[in-house]
Structure 1
Amino acid sequence: MTAKHSAQAGGVTRRQAVKLAAAAGIVAAGGLALPPLFREPLRSEVFVAKAADYGADLAGILRRGLAELGVTPQELAGRRVLLKPNLVEPHAGAGHINTHPLVLRAAAEAFLALGAASVVVGEGAGHRRDAYLVLEESGLEDVLAQDKLRFFDLNNGPVTLVGNRGGVSKLGDLWLPQLLARVDLVVSVAKMKVHHWAGVTLSMKNLFGVMPGVVYGWPKNALHFAGIEESILDINATVRPGFAIVDGIVGMEGDGPIMGDPVAAGVLVLGRNPVAVDATCCRIMGIDPRRIDYLKRADGTLGTIAARAIAQRGEDPATVRRDFALLDFVPAQQGIRLGR
């Protein structure tokens, strides 16, 4: 199967999909039932694994992590899974900007091996309007073609209005892609990066990419105007991703999420609760999650950030800690360093 035919939306070619989406426009409000929550444990568990490079057995690592977290074939049998990567601003050869394609491949293999009925990939890139240029430059298109995984451009296509379950920002109700109603499990497959406005961008911030550009603009300006931290909380409360995987094999430090420098953290981090996953990632990055505004506000409502309330599986975050470089002149990165 060619790359062109693998990146389809709704069974049509990629260019047809964009045209049809534009013609469809925004559909009437209502009718979108959010996917049921993945089985939520009484306490949060997060799995941390070492991965020296992208040539490691990533699918095996993820399968081991899923098993450690108690994910069973019975739980995933027949489920339709959406993998949501971070493709913010692809540049060929700059693997520290976006979720690596081999992490997406490994995630798809792991969920299918556990009995998922289907796995698709969806993203609404933050800056580029041409989703398929994004796929080509990021290297993801080849992986999608080889593995016959369907891609959905979340920036375009039918959307519908749903109630804002967070109610923190000034956004009011949220327009979401109708695709979310056709999957059972949303998995945020994020990149481990610092951020010049939010402090860090991990699995929770990654959900900006489900918000359609045809409504919220490029680079999702309406969400910025409504407050980045507040929008993160509202989107996560409404979409309720059921799982998070963070690619920290090579992350980004300094002027993230685009202009920063690569840093080899050598880890994959995963769990059912994005808040706990992101708090663990912060500790690995040498950042105090209590000093990240949206994580502090999510604590006790969307999840937990307290180390004592997170059962760590796999590696101890302290043993794989790699302090990411922070910029003194960036307000969001000031005073967030985790003490030793």
Structure 2
Amino acid sequence: MVRPEQFLSESLMTRREFLRRSATGGAILLSGGVFLNGCSFERQRAETFIAKVEHYNADIAKVIVNGLRELGVGVKEIQGKRVLLKPNMVEPHSGAGPIITHPLVIRGAVEAFKHLGASRVLVAEGPGHCRDSILVLEESGVGDVLHEDRIPFVDLNYDSGFRVANAGRLSELPALVFPSTLQQIDLIVSMPKMKTHHWAGVTLSMKNMFGVMPGSFYGWPKNVLHFAGIDKCILDINLTLKPHLAIVDGIVGMEGDGPIMGTPKQAGVLVMGRNLAAVDATCSRVMGIDPHKIGYLKAASGRIGPIKEANIDQRGEKIASVRTNFALIDKIPAHHGIRLG
């Protein structure tokens, strides 16, 4: 068993040694976490927060702390909690700025939650396009940040799993297999990259939760979920798991043929909120995309949260002040007719 203090004391450990031991060290987490019995996010109204952040050298931790406080998330809610940050790390790619949640956004979130008193903050992901998560960490630069800051990483693709009845039942999957790590944390934070998507139209905080599903059960790139229906499985996963927060990296996003073949898009924002449907609807509008034309977001309305703009209380910047139309591709069916008027 790898103990938490080992990560702090073994300062001479190489980056690869640290990442490999961390990736197999799910046992560093304490037992007894809350899973699937938190507050329901199926409410008529929700709040989202938009911050202008022009570059990754900004004080991102301060931006996130301020955003959380605007959303009513403070020390009282975070103190003593075990927080899992779920970035989007779809595949290894040198200089993968528009593909993968930026390492400095991850670092900023770690610092923010520690500032608010979290007892443990870890990063966890199950990359969909690559069986070697350590390679993804190294190529993306995320591994450097984790090593420098001694942040534990859990490879969800190879974590042991447990079955839960499918609460959504939109797909034909009667149950879902989740990684055991999720039983040992208190808060799940979805941290996607703001991107258009070849099959779903957009990929944001709800779609990002595909990465918690173990590849050892669902294949690569989570083929079982694709065959069962992407939109339906997005809803099933989020209705069953109920993530607690979302922080979307839209400083540099991806437009066009995302989630991996598109081009960088400077949007200059971080978007945050408690309700993932509301966050994704807000992000869609920032991208110049109508959330009511995105299949899984339309289906999320009334099940997971509001997507109608009038039912989302906007904090921070106004959508109109940061809107920047992400390029859509005519030959991609999922991009047809989704432009916001």
Q: Structure 1 length as normaliser, TM-score?
A: 0.92
Give, in whole Å, the separation in 1 of the partners of 2:297 and 2:136.
29
In structure 2, the residue matched to 1:82 is 84
Once the two structures are overlaid, the 10-residue window that deviates more, 85-94 or 40-49, is 40-49
| 8 Å contact kept, 1:292–1:336 | yes
Q: Letter of the 1:7 partner, please give it.
A: L
Q: Percent identity?
A: 58
| 8 Å contact kept, 2:33–2:184 | no
Give, in whole Å, the separation in 2 of the partners of 1:201 and 1:160.
26
1:296 to 291, 295, 298: 298
In structure 2, the residue matched to 1:144 is 146
Secondary structure class of the residue paired with 1:129: coil
Does 2:193 match 1:191? yes
1:106 to 101, 105, 108: 108
In structure 2, the residue matched to 1:159 is 161
Give, in whole Å, the separation in 1 of the partners of 2:314 and 2:54.
20
Distance 1:4 1:126, change over 3 A: same
User: How big is the alpha-carbon RMSD for the aligned residues of Structure 1 and Structure 2?
Assistant: 1.9
1:305, CA displacement in angstroms? Answer: 0.1
| 8 Å contact kept, 2:36–2:240 | no
In structure 1, the residue matched to 2:38 is 37
In structure 2, the residue matched to 1:27 is none
Give, in whole Å, the separation in 2 of the partners of 1:185 and 1:147.
20
In structure 2, the residue matched to 1:126 is 128
Does 2:293 match 1:281? no
| 8 Å contact kept, 2:49–2:271 | yes
| 8 Å contact kept, 2:165–2:175 | yes
In structure 2, the residue matched to 1:244 is 246
| 8 Å contact kept, 2:245–2:276 | yes
Aligned pairs for 1:172-191 (under 5 A) are: 172-191=174-193
Does 2:137 match 1:135? yes
1:37, CA displacement in angstroms? Answer: 2.4
1:318, CA displacement in angstroms? Answer: 1.1
Give, in whole Å, the separation in 2 of the partners of 1:99 and 1:181.
24
Q: Letter of the 1:197 partner, please give it.
A: W
1:4 to 1, 16, 25: 16
In structure 1, the residue matched to 2:73 is 71
In structure 1, the residue matched to 2:222 is 220
| 8 Å contact kept, 2:45–2:305 | no
1:325, CA displacement in angstroms? Answer: 0.3
Q: Structure 2 length as normaliser, TM-score?
A: 0.91
Aligned pairs for 1:261-340 (under 5 A) are: 261-339=263-341
Q: Letter of the 1:229 partner, please give it.
A: D
1:35, CA displacement in angstroms? Answer: 4.8
In structure 2, the residue matched to 1:26 is none
1:38, CA displacement in angstroms? Answer: 5.6
Secondary structure class of the residue paired with 2:192: strand
Give, in whole Å, the separation in 2 of the partners of 1:51 and 1:38.
30
Query: What do residues 315-336 of structure 1 show as CA deviations (whole Å, max 9, x unaligned)?
Result: 0011100000000111100000
Q: Letter of the 1:302 partner, please give it.
A: I
1:210 to 198, 209, 212: 212
Distance 1:197 1:314, change over 3 A: same
Secondary structure class of the residue paired with 1:276: helix
| 8 Å contact kept, 1:7–1:149 | no
Query: What do residues 218-261 of structure 1 show as CA deviations (whole Å, max 9, x unaligned)?
Result: 00000000000000000001111000010000000000000000
Does 2:118 match 1:116? yes
